[in-house]
Amino acid sequence: MTMLKSLQGTIQPVDEDAVAALASGLRGGVFTDGSAEYDEGRTLWNAMVDRKPGVVIRAKGTSDVQKAVNFARENGLLIAVRSGGHQIAGHAVAEGALLLDLSHMNSVRVNRAEKTVRVEPGASLGDIDRETQVHGLALPVGINSTTGIAGLTLGGGFGWLTRKYGMTIDNLISVDIVTADGKILIASEDENADLFWAIRGGGGNFGIVTSFEFEVHDIGSEVLSGLIVHPIEAAPELLQDYRKIADTAPDELTVWVVMRKAPPLPFLPEEWHGRPVLVFAACYTGDLAKGEEALAGLRALGEPIADVIGPTPYIGWQSAFDPLLTPGMRNYWKSHDFKGLPEEAVSTLLSAIETLPDPNCEVFIAHVGGAMARVPVEGTAYPERASHFIMNVHTRWQDPSGDAACIGWARELFDEMAPYATGSAYINFMPDDEADRVAGVYGANMAKLGRIKAKYDPDNLFRVNHNIVPAA
């Protein structure tokens, strides 16, 4: 007998013949503990997540997904869904559950004439960038090329192109999705529009997307981008000036702030390695000469340790932070949204940087707004459009002995920054201990999400996520 976790949380036997019949009908396969495929399927980016599912189902197409959903529903089994495996909460794997691994569904097809791209859920952001950039096109996505497109999109998606072209969900045209009853639906503005609204920010609560169709944009092959590194001691004055620059920046310009101990980057003098620094990470999308003008004010601030801004291949910039985000490390994040950064908030942040618990820990402030802010709150499930900044307290360390210090530091800073925040958050940055925060994240959109959940997943089959409970 195969033992699997039920929706009620108990471990129950599932007939071997039923499992064998499922496996025989799949293009992918069913794998159990002891196989390489099993370990590949359960291993996630965040090394804090080390769970053992009952079985791993590897999907290679929509038919496999449909069969897995039907099997889970008919047998009352807990199902977790893995695409890129990057989500900080680790919801891609649940102990004892049926794990549906979509990572081998990773095709990317660009329609140059229509300026669209069709993407399967296992594709990474790097996969998409490589295929779209063949045509000088790009999709607004995140900043780490190994992130999976499915989780990023379903939670919202933002990065260097967001101020100019909107969030990833704002560029979504349609999806193919398998719902809890095993049906294969198309969701778009014209078809199952309520479902389409819900998946744009509502996470994996409403079904399993097997194909995304996006609008993409002409950006050419280069952006004006790079880093400006300053001593942390100059941060109070620099951040005052930064707020003014962020408030008046054209949509083409995005400037993020990173505060951490300097990694041993080749362009930094060795005496600065390991010392606290403030980094401006900037990207201008568009005419490079205009970009030089737009960045002039930022580059004139203070006396930087290094300024390495210049024309950069877009693909190279999209993967520039990959070396700092490799798999296999322990990670814990806490996030807030802000409409502004008052002096008191800046002082709180800088005090925390003095006590970084590990050299790999950092705080970054993402500069958003622009096109993202021009979508109505009720336009998508993702509600927070007014924020100008998104903070991620990103603790990252190697050894489990650092768990208490790193997690405690992140939680303390999160609490200290709460008075300056909007109360909402980017759900993709939320760890698995924030279930009580979900309703606040969605705000006025929560009631509608509950009704749509009740329509498409009344029994809450898809519950291994930041869960939205079906409305009564």
Q: What is the CATH number of the domain that holds 204?
A: 3.30.465.10
pLDDT of residue 386: 87
Shared domain for 213 and 228, answered yes or no, is: no
Report helix, strand or coil for 410. helix
Contact 19, 30 (CB under 8 A): yes
Q: Among 48, 78, 101, which residue terminates a domain?
A: 101
Placement of tokens 């609008």 in the chain: 215
CA–CA gap between residue 62 and residue 68 (Å, rounded)? 10
Could you count the other beta carbons within 10 Å of the beta carbon of residue 469?
Answer: 15
Across 337-362, average pLDDT: 96
The H or E element that residue 82 is part of is strand 79-82
Domain enclosing residue 198, as ranges = 108-218+443-456
Q: Considering the entire predicted model, what is its pTM?
A: 0.97
7-24 per-position pLDDT tens digit:
999 999 999 999 999 999
Taking alpha carbons only, the member of 325, 207, 214, 194 closest to residue 263 is 325
Are residues 236 and 379 located together in one domain of the fold? yes
Instruction: Please indicate, yes or no, if residue 461 is contained in any of the structural domains.
Output: no
Asked whether residue 471 is assigned to any structural domain, the reply reads no
Q: Residue 128 and residue 243: Cα distance in Å, rounded?
A: 32
Question: Which domain-ending residue is among 61, 78, 101?
Answer: 101
Domain total in the chain: 3
Asked whether residue 435 is assigned to any structural domain, the reply reads no
Same domain, residue pair 195 and 242? no
* In-domain check, residue 138: yes
Q: Are strands 79-82 and 98-101 parallel, antiparallel or unpaired?
A: parallel
Residues 231 and 276 in one domain: yes
Dist CA 264 CA 274 (whole Å): 7
Co-location of 250 and 275 in the same domain:
yes
Residue 48 lies in a domain: yes
Place of tokens 């045209």: 173
Q: Which of 43, 73, 101 is the last residue of a domain?
A: 101
Angle at 411 between CA 410 and CA 414, to 5 degrees: 85
Supply the CATH number for residue 250's domain: 3.40.462.20
Structure tokens at 82: 């893995």
Angle between the N-to-C axes of helices 235-248 and 343-353, in degrees from 0 to 180, rounded to the nearest 10: 130
For the cut 90, the answer to whether the pLDDT of residue 1 exceeds it is no
- Do 137 and 251 fall within a single domain? no
* Contact indicator for 111, 47 with CB cutoff of 8 Å: no
Residues 130 and 257 in one domain: no
Q: Is 257 in contact with 239 (CB distance < 8 Å)?
A: yes
**Domain identity same for 199 and 323:** no
Claim to verify: residue 67 and residue 145 sit in the same structural domain: no
- The pLDDT score that the predictor gives to residue 387 is 84
The reply to whether 174 falls in a domain is yes
Same domain, residue pair 162 and 21:
no
pLDDT at 131 over 90: yes
Counting Cβ atoms within 10 Å, is residue 85 exposed (0-12), middle (13-18) or buried (19+)?
buried
Residue 64: pLDDT band by 50, 70, 90 thresholds?
very high
Residue range 158-184, pLDDT digits in tens: 999 999 999 999 999 999 999 999 999
Q: Say whether 64 sits in a helix, a strand or coil.
A: helix
Q: Is the four-CA dihedral 173, 176, 180, 183 of positive or negative sign?
A: positive
Do 250 and 180 have their domain in common?
no
Evaluate whether residue 295 is within a structural domain: yes
Share of the chain above pLDDT 90, in %: 98
Based on the fold, state whether residues 92 and 112 are members of the same structural domain.
Answer: no
pLDDT tens-place string over residues 387-445: 899 999 999 999 999 999 999 999 999 999 999 999 999 999 999 999 999 999 999 99
User: Residue 351 is encoded by which pair of tokens?
Assistant: 């005090």
> Is residue 467 in a domain?
no
Mean pLDDT of the chain: 97
pLDDT for res 133: 98
Mean pLDDT calculated for residue range 259-279: 96
CA 11 from centre of chain: 31
Residue 191, number of CB atoms within 10 A of its CB? 11
